[in-house]
Chains A and B, each alone.
Chain A
Amino acid sequence: MTKKHSVLLKEEKCEGCTNCVKGCPTKAIRVHQGKAWIKEDLCIDCAECIRACEYHAKYTKTDQLDQIMESSEYPVLLIPPSFYSQFSAGIPAQKIKKSIINLGFEAVFDVADAAAALSRKTLDFLNNNSGNYISTSCPVIVRLIKLQYPDLIEMLIPLKSPVELIAERVERKLKEEKNIDPDIFFLTPCPAKLTTVKRAIGQNKSFLTGAIGVENIYQKIYESLADIELEEKEDQLISLATIWGSEGGEEGILRSWQELNTLSVSGIKKAKKLLNEIERNNIPEAIRYFEITSCVDGCIGGVLNVINPFQAQFNLEERIKKIRQITQEHNLVLKKEDDEFYNFALSQKITADNISKLDSNFKKAMQKLEQLQKEIDILPGLDCAACGAPDCKTFAEDVINERASRTDCIFMLRKQLSRLADDLSILANELPPVMASKKEEADDS
């Protein structure tokens, strides 16, 4: 069975501390019998639990390099903009790419090229459609909206993410030019992008074969850099759209072309706050486009990256400066002929994951709601998480759905014990019938 998410638990490392339980934005984690279990349907791969776990019990299993090389005949790798933040700007992009080729990949492609094309398409879309839109490039945000803000699905801009765009193009190109059927891998900064390989967003199927985590190959690349010689003029520049790797990159490009009201927000907590405000119409309608990323600072904050986000931010900015210096261009070009080779439209509608329903029958749902309210009223409301659920309300829901028992709450257990103790003492004080009758006789006399 393929999992619906990519963040997993190393059982032997989990101490059952509940640190992760409280921080999960979708309340997907419960600690049972000392281990943290993730509920498949609820996990959106934001990796907050990986960040929260002091015992490193949560992890992401991406593809392994040696496996890829063993099993694939023609592996190619797609490099995200954020990957360049992992190296100082002094290291030519071409060197980094060559070193990836040396690992055994047949070819590498920059996702930034598709990001540039997507930016142009986005501007075009916004100019030709009314309404307010949300970027679909961070899969965590899309899944969060599907799950918790289904009424905002229509705000998701119906365009493919840069990774899928370039993957589709590479597949077609290699087929047409060389009659090759490549295996396309993505060098991923996060578990969420790995999940999209299995569960594509707004598409029947992803164009990716797999994904390999940055942390998996970083060391190898880094060590080999020194030995790589570049021939003259070989240092092809990467796109200015590499700025997509950090928060504000996407909106910055749009605004460099046209006066446009946009807003960028990063970090899952802030993202949820923003979505709440959008949902209740408490955000100026003048804001046409929202760039929202789950990771703080954008993809450079992805949990599979190696370099700390502060240094990464610096590296990326330096690299952009350099590209600007060399090309003598401050902004990304607004027109490019080859954009027409991309197939931007999503082939399927993005649909809601309606799993918060108590029951599909209204009357039954109402009964359960009442039950739930009663259960909540009984509980102490301390949200201590000792029961393994993030808070009392969530625990109450687990109880009425028979996924937990009331005495998993230590306060309820204590109450029950004290009641039991009372019963015991009453029982103990009750005299055996023989003696009791004697006593009665004595009283009578």
Chain B
Amino acid sequence: MSLQKQQILNKEIESFDFQSGGEASSDLKNILRKLGVPSAIVRKTAIITYELEMNVVIHSLGGEITALISEDELEIRVDDSGPGIEDLDKAFTAGFSTASDEIREMGFGAGMGLVNVKRYADQIDVKSSKDDGTHVKVIINLAN
């Protein structure tokens, strides 16, 4: 059973705000460094958080990201307020993307988002519905 987790980050993410997209991932990276988390795990977290953050920026109406930590686990939660992912299985397929052409031209939405997250996360749980948006919970093990 994991110990009580403490919140170390909570940040709002705005839809289509490409300027600040990536800030949460940088902030979290800095916090983990301060806590002495091994660099390989910091890297994983930076990649995961960035993907999730950009997902919110590109695909949603806005949301928030929260990170909680205990000595043996890091939990990242990303909650957005819609429109939800239609087909979750597809979203976990490499190359599948619902990004608009405009966004693809900017170099985003190559369809690696959730696939990448899954690749680096130790656990991932995604809930999505049309009315309730998308809720992603990722666990990264800290204790070896």
Chain A residues near B (Cβ < 8 Å): 150-153, 276, 279-282, 352, 354, 356-360, 362-363, 365-366, 368-370, 372
Given contacts A151-B42, A276-B26, A279-B29, whether A357 and B71 have CB atoms under 8 Å apart is no
**List of A residues within 8 angstroms of B35 by Cβ:** 357-358, 362, 365-366, 369
Query: Which residue from chain B places its CB closest to the CB of A355 in the assembled complex?
Result: B33
Q: How many Å lie between the Cα of A356 and that of B36 in the bound state?
A: 8
Interface set, chain B 7-34, CB cutoff 8 A to A = 8, 22, 25-26, 29-31, 33-34
Q: Are B47 and A356 in contact (CB under 8 A)?
A: no
CB-nearest residue of chain A relative to B29?
Answer: A279
Mask, B63-89, CB within 8 Å of A = 1, is: 000000101000000000000000000
Q: Is B43 an interface residue (CB 8 A)?
A: yes
- Contact A282-B50, Cβ < 8 Å, known A151-B42, A366-B6: yes
Most central of B22, B31, B34, B50 by chain A CB within 10 Å: B34
Q: Determine if A280 and B36 form an interchain contact, defined as CB atoms under 8 angstroms apart.
A: no
26 A-B residue pairs with CB within 8 Å? A151-B42, A151-B43, A276-B26, A279-B29, A279-B46, A279-B47, A280-B25, A280-B46, A280-B49, A281-B47, A357-B33, A357-B34, A357-B36, A358-B34, A358-B36, A359-B36, A360-B36, A362-B35, A362-B36, A362-B71, A365-B34, A365-B35, A366-B69, A368-B34, A369-B34, A372-B34
Report how far A360 CA is from B38 CA in the complex, Å. Answer: 11
Chain A residue nearest to B6 (CB atoms) is A366
Closest to B36 in A: A357
Q: What is the CA–CA distance of A356 and B31 in the complex, to the nearest angstrom? A: 9
A368: nearest chain-B partner, CB-CB: B34
Return A185 CB to nearest CB of chain B, in Å: 36
> Which residues of A are found within 8 Å of B1, using beta-carbon distances?
none
Tell me if B39 counts as interface (CB < 8 A to partner A): yes
**What separation, in Å, do the CA atoms of A281 and B25 have in the docked complex?**
12
Other 19 A-B pairs with CB < 8 A, given A281-B50, A358-B36, A369-B35: A153-B39, A279-B29, A280-B49, A280-B50, A281-B116, A282-B22, A282-B50, A352-B39, A356-B33, A356-B34, A357-B34, A362-B35, A362-B36, A365-B35, A366-B35, A366-B69, A368-B34, A369-B31, A369-B34
Q: From B22, B39, B50, name the one whose CB has the most chain A CB atoms within 10 angstroms.
A: B39
Closest A-chain residue to B30, C-beta based?
A356
Q: Is the interface of A mostly helix, strand, loop or mixed?
A: helix
Range class of the B interface residue count: 20 to 34
A360, A362, A363 pick with most chain B CB within 10 angstroms: A362
Q: Are B6 and A365 in contact (CB under 8 A)?
A: no
* CB–CB A354/B71 < 8 A: no
Complex formed: what's the CA distance from A153 to B39 in Å?
Answer: 10
Please, which residues of chain A bring their CB within 8 A of the CB of B36? 354, 357-360, 362, 365
Instruction: For the complex, give the distance between the alpha carbons of A152 and B39 in Å.
Output: 9
User: How far apart sit A357 and B37, CA to CA, in the bound complex (Å)?
Assistant: 9
Q: Are B8 and A369 in touch, CB under 8 angstroms?
A: yes
Tell me whether A280 and B42 are in contact (CB under 8 A). Answer: no
Contact at B39–A280, with CB atoms within 8 Å?
no
Encoded as 1 (CB less than 8 Å from any A CB) or 0, chain B from 44 to 56 comes to 0011011000000
A279: B residues at CB distance < 8 A: 29, 43, 46-47
Distance in Å from the Cβ of B124 to the closest Cβ of chain A? 17
Question: Given A276-B26, A280-B25, A356-B33, do A151 and B39 touch, yes or no (CB 8 Å)?
Answer: yes
CA A368 to CA B35, docked complex, whole Å: 9
CB-based nearest A residue for B54: A282
Specify the chain B residue showing the minimal Cβ separation from A397.
Answer: B34
User: Given A279-B46, A281-B50, A369-B8, A150–B71 Cβ distance below 8 Å?
Assistant: no
Instruction: Name the CB-closest residue of A to B53.
Output: A280
Give the residues from 110 to 125 in chain B that come closer than 8 angstroms, CB to CB, to chain A.
116
List residues of chain B with CB within 8 A of the CB of A365.
Answer: 34-36
* B75 CB to nearest chain A CB (Å): 15
Picked from A282, A356, A363, the residue with its CB within 8 Å of the CB of B71 is A363
**A281: which B residues are within 8 A, CB to CB?**
47, 50, 116
Q: Kindly state the separation between the CA atoms of A349 and B61 in the bound complex, as whole angstroms.
A: 47
Name the B residues within 8 Å of A153 (CB-CB): 39
How far apart are the CA atoms of A136 and B35 in the complex, in Å? 28
Across the interface, name the chain A residue whose C-beta is closest to B26: A276
Minimum CB–CB distance from A344 to chain B (whole Å) comes to 26
B34 proximity list for chain A (CB < 8 A): 356-358, 365, 368-369, 372
- In the bound complex, residues from chain A placing their C-beta under 8 Å from that of B29 are 279
Bound Cα distance A153, B31 (Å): 20
Residues of B within 8 A of A282 (CB): 22, 50
In angstroms, Cα B27 to Cα A372, docked, is 14
| Nearest neighbor of B46 in chain A, beta-carbon distance | A280
Q: How far is the CB of A77 from chain B (nearest CB, A)?
A: 39
B116: chain A residues within 8 A (beta carbon): 281
B105 to chain A, nearest CB (A): 15
CA–CA, A332 and B29, complex, Å: 42
B contact residues around A363 at 8 Å (CB):
71
Chain B 85-115 residues near chain A, CB threshold 8 A = none
In whole angstroms, how far apart are the Cα atoms of A137 and B25 in the complex? 29
B39 contacts across to A, CB distance below 8 A: 150-151, 153, 352
Please give, as numbers and ranges, the residues of chain A lying within 8 Å of B43 by CB-CB distance.
151-152, 279
When distances are taken between beta carbons in the complex, the residues of chain B under 8 Å from A359 are 36
Q: A276–B21 Cα gap in the complex (Å)? A: 13
Q: Identify which of B26, B30, B36, B50 gathers the most chain A CB atoms within 10 Å of its CB.
A: B36
